[in-house]
Amino acid sequence: MAHFHVISGAGDKLDLPVICRISIADLGDVLRLGFADFWEKPSHYAMLAIIYPIVGIVLTVWMNGYHTWPLLYPLIGGFALIGPFAALGLYEISRRREQGLEASWGHAFDVLKSPAIGSIAAVGVMLLVLFTLWLTTAQALYESLFGASTPQTLDGLLAQIFTEPGGTTLLIVGTMLGALFALATLCTSVIAFPLMLDRDVGAFVAVETSFRAVLKNPLPMLAWGALVGAGLFIGTIPLFVGLAIIIPIFGHATWHLYRKLIDNASLIRQ
């Protein structure tokens, strides 16, 4: 416990990794590497193929029972906000494969033994707060346009959106707000978790490095965010089944994106 830390790293000084410039073409490369990691032993992800359909069924039953269909789109979009944290085990598997170590699905839980687990948990809480704020904002927007009463079926929600005057406003403003939350997540955590697994730099440096990576590579990083968002959205159709493939591929690819963005030989010491 004497070495437990959250905001700062294990050292006495802040070690700020040097950011490399990447291109749009590099995104295709990291996706290829991510798919290779996934395809090495795709049977490892059989459990995901069961979990995500169950999640979809539970959400459907919950929305039917409690008439919370207006939260369907925000919940789907919310996967992009908590995705970086959800893929922790995938980063660890890619890290082990890179080092030539055995990489079975059980090794995904090795992140719990990481010396940076306090920092990882802190950034995870930050994403959970963003996710909660997004759901609260989306609910407030819906109620400002349609009131507190909600449709009891999915068909009722779709009819409300596409036939009532506030529907267009809900789609446009809701999408813009969702994009802002997604951008905040991209800037603060795009490579934060792989960095903390690789180097015990602390939560502050991990978030700051992600932010610098986006500032130095705005077009490739925005394109990456758009790819991840589109992939997760497609993966939720139907009943979240596609996420069993989409999340592992993008999770592994994020590790390789981290490797392309960070100069492993250089540090800025402060």
pLDDT band at 219 (very low <50, low <70, confident <90, very high): very high
Is residue 11 domain-resident?
Answer: no
- Rounded to whole angstroms, the Cα distance separating 205 from 114 reads 17
- Rounded to whole angstroms, the Cα distance separating 131 from 61 reads 21
Query: Which backbone phi and psi does 8 adopt, to 5 degrees?
Result: -95, 170
Q: For the segment 28-40, what is each residue's pLDDT rounded down to a tens digit? A: 999 999 999 888 8
pLDDT band at 189 (very low <50, low <70, confident <90, very high): very high
Count of structural domains within the chain? 1
Range of the domain at 228: 21-269
Residues 136, 130: contact at Cβ < 8 Å?
no
Is residue 10 domain-resident?
Answer: no
Q: Residue 17: beta bridge partners? A: 267
Q: Residue 9: beta bridge partners? A: none
Q: For the segment 196-206, what is each residue's pLDDT rounded down to a tens digit? A: 999 888 899 99
pLDDT of residue 270: 47
Q: For the chain, what percent of residues have pLDDT higher than 70?
A: 82
Is residue 82 domain-resident?
Answer: yes
Is residue 133 domain-resident?
Answer: yes
Entry pTM: 0.84
Is residue 14 domain-resident?
Answer: no
Is residue 31 domain-resident?
Answer: yes
Could you tell me the CA-to-CA distances from 137 to 17, 130, 154, 174, 225 in Å, in that order?
A: 35, 10, 21, 9, 21
- Rounded to whole angstroms, the Cα distance separating 267 from 17 reads 5
Cα dihedral 60, 64, 67, 73, rounded to 10, equals: 20
Which positions ≥6 away from 155 have C-beta within 8 Å? Answer: none
Residues 52, 244: contact at Cβ < 8 Å?
yes
Which positions ≥6 away from 120 have C-beta within 8 Å? Answer: 88, 111, 114, 193, 196, 197
